[in-house]
């Protein structure tokens, strides 16, 4: 297992719905443990999409509002669609100071857009891969104004040449508990993540205007890192004995380090596309 190194990509609708329920139950951990996105992501998004004060944005899968807050602080009106009831409730609490932000509990694929709004931007932060591939582009196209934009990005584990060796060394424990790293799964370096330009263009509904890689590093102590792992689907679905063995070994190994910490490198690819009219 990667500890979240590879994006979680459930293929079937039933898998997506089952794991969505697991994420919903981890709403408090999600807000505390998941990383903040770099400011450069939002700065680039605003610049390339030509967003202006007061524009109306639609966020798909806002979770607890990690990506919502920076854009709300820029003065945008934002409607957020979140499938998890507890995640939606957490987002309402976290964004209560912004009257221009509305949180709607439900699936984007089923959302009827009752007000008939046409949005300036549809965006998703580490949520696009959870949407039904047969619907996500067409639904986004339908709710965007002419000339509007679609943007999405992820936050995944990447492995720089000078990165922390902890993630390689801990693989023996994953092997022991039957959760080995899949042989076909790469360990991508910063700047080497796959992009979805071809998929965007193949939809026939959008033209890609920006694909930009970004990366950053975050330090975790044992408690913080275990909290993070508890927000990943692969760890949520482990048996209790597997998690106990793994987390106990993480604590033991980090206790041997002088500062008790590990360094995890994050990466993502920002995609921005313009609606084809």
Tell me yes or no: is domain 13-159+186-218+266-275 CATH 3.40.718.10: no
Residues 211 and 209: their CA atoms lie apart, in Å, by 7
Q: How far is CA 230 from the centre of its chain?
A: 15
Reduced to 3 DSSP states, what percent helix, strand and coil does the chain have, rounded to the nearest 5?
Answer: 40, 25, 40
pLDDT tens per residue, the chain (277 residues)? 444 333 344 444 554 455 555 556 667 788 889 899 999 999 999 999 999 999 999 999 999 999 999 999 999 999 999 999 999 999 999 999 999 999 999 999 999 999 999 999 999 999 999 999 999 999 999 999 999 999 999 999 999 999 999 999 999 999 999 999 887 778 899 999 999 999 999 999 999 999 999 999 999 999 999 999 998 888 988 999 999 999 999 999 999 999 999 999 999 999 999 999 8
Residue 225 contacts by C-beta under 8 Å, 6 or more apart in sequence?
250, 254, 262, 264
Rounded to 5 degrees, what angle do the CA atoms 52, 57, 58 make? 170
- In 3D space, the residue among 87, 59, 84 whose CA is nearest the CA of residue 71 turns out to be 59
Q: What is the pTM of this model?
A: 0.89
- Domain map (residue ranges) of the chain: 13-159+186-218+266-275
- In 3D space, the residue among 129, 132, 137 whose CA is nearest the CA of residue 107 turns out to be 132
Strands 144-153 and 206-221: unpaired
pLDDT digits (tens, 9 = 90+) for 61-114: 999 999 999 999 999 999 999 999 999 999 999 999 999 999 999 999 999 999
Residue 32 contacts by C-beta under 8 Å, 6 or more apart in sequence?
227
Per-residue DSSP letter, 69: H
């Amino acid at each position: 297992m990667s500890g979240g190194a590879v994006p979680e990509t459930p293929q079937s609708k039933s898998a997506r719905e089952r794991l969505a329920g697991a994420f919903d139950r981890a709403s408090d951990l999600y807000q505390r443990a998941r990383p903040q996105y770099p400011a450069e992501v939002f700065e680039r998004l605003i610049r390339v999409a030509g967003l202006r004060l007061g524009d109306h944005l639609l966020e798909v899968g806002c979770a607890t509002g990690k990506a919502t807050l920076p854009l709300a602080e820029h003065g945008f009106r934002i409607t957020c669609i979140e499938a998890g009831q507890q995640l939606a409730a957490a987002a309402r609490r976290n964004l209560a100071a912004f009257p221009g932000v509305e949180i709607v509990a439900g699936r984007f694929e089923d959302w009827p857009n009752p007000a008939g709004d046409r949005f300036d931007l549809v965006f998703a932060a580490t949520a696009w891969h959870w949407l039904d591939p047969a619907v996500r582009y067409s639904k986004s196209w339908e709710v965007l104004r002419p000339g509007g934009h679609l943007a999405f990005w992820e936050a995944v584990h990447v492995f720089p040449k000078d990165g922390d060796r902890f993630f390689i060394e801990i693989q023996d424990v994953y092997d022991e508990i039957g959760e080995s790293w899949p042989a076909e799964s790469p360990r991508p370096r910063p700047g080497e993540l796959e992009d979805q330009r071809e998929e965007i263009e193949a939809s026939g509904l959008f033209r890609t205007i920006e694909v930009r890689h970004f990366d950053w590093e975050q330090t975790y102590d044992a408690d913080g890192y275990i909290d993070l792992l508890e927000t990943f689907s692969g760890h949520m679905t482990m048996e209790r004995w597997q998690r106990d063995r793994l987390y106990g070994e993480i604590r033991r190994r980090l206790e041997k380090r002088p500062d008790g910490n590990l360094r995890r490198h994050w990466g993502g690819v920002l995609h921005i596309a313009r609606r084809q009219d």
